[in-house]
Amino acid sequence: MKLYLATSNLHKIEELKKMLSEAGLNREVHTAEALGGMPEVIEDKDTFSGNALKKARALAALLPSDGLALADDSGICIEAFDGAPGVRSARYAGEDATDESNLDKLIREMESIPDGQRRGAFVCHLAAVLPGGDEVVFEGEVRGSILRERKGVNGFGYDPVFLPEGRNRTTAEMSQDEKTTISHRGIATRKFIAWLKEGDS
């Protein structure tokens, strides 16, 4: 079964290929470009699963008979903000927000939050839609705290201010391999790979 990701991000493709290989699975992995590009999807659901499934279903409509569509929706959830920005993490500072503007807004709006109350979590929901229409969602979460200033230059998004529980470095200070071992997307992807292996057995 070929895997198609609802993304044009080649880094995500390489990451999945590497994780599949390490798990002993040989699968072709493609971006949506292999199917003519990702259909336009408005991410208007109020849950990560809802948005991930919406993207995966749109891609699944283009699939060959031996294809499986994969899409994720991810974000950061801050306890002091009742889980916000959540599904709006990528658009936290507005519809045309950049990583920098989102990060600036989060740092600014959390300025008055005491150190002991700056808990949050990165959340990822990875949706798979099979050729027959069956759907499965795999969830990953990593908890931590939000720093008052940026540290590190790796990663993207909110990585420079996210300090995972039990770690002394932000996810932006970690190598990609180290981050993948603990990240929300890595956790969700390993659950998906375990499910694939079970289907092969």
Residues forming the active site: 73
Exposed, middle or buried, 177 (CB in 10 Å: 0-12/13-18/19+)?
exposed
State how far the Cα of 89 lies from the Cα of 51, in Å rounded to an integer.
13
**The total number of residues written for the chain in this structure:** 201
Query: Are residues 141 and 123 in contact, defined by beta-carbon separation less than 8 angstroms?
Result: yes
DSSP 56: H
Sheet containing 67-78: which strands, arranged edge to edge? 29-31, 2-5, 67-78, 119-129, 135-146, 162-164
